[in-house]
Amino acid sequence: FDGPARAIRCACSIRDAVHQLGISIRAGLHTGECELMGDGDIGGVSVHVAARVGAKAGPEQVVVSSTVRDLVSDSGIEFSEFGTHTLKGIPGRWRLYLINA
């Protein structure tokens, strides 16, 4: 994505589209440095953080890290506090936010 706001809107659009098909998804978003692996996959700490953030989301929820929220603060996207969490295999505690859409 060319920015985190577009990633949030995409996740919400996918969630809403598959809901109409009777499918429930969850999404977690984080942004940061990543690296392109030789097999075309991506890796790095940011990829792992995003996966762990997604694991905290419930059905139909889009959850983001504070890094993402801070970067899109002027985008018009609304958030609710989702608490401070430990993320498996990631040092420290992470403040997460739920997208209100």
Identify the DSSP state of 16: H
Write down the pLDDT at residue 50.
Answer: 95
Instruction: Give, in degrees to the nearest 5, the angle at Cα 65 between 69 and 44.
Output: 125
Q: Please state the domain count of the chain.
A: 1
For the stretch 16-25, pLDDT in tens is: 999 999 999 9
What three-state secondary structure class fits 8? helix
Q: Quote the CA–CA distance of 72 and 70 in Å, as a whole number.
A: 6
* Range(s) of the domain holding residue 10: 4-99
What three-state secondary structure class fits 54? helix
Q: Output the domain CATH number for residue 45.
A: 3.30.70.1230
Q: pTM for the whole thing?
A: 0.90
Task: Tally Cβ neighbours within 10 Å of residue 10.
Answer: 14
For the stretch 22-48, pLDDT in tens is: 999 999 999 998 888 888 888 889 999
Write down the pLDDT at residue 34.
Answer: 87
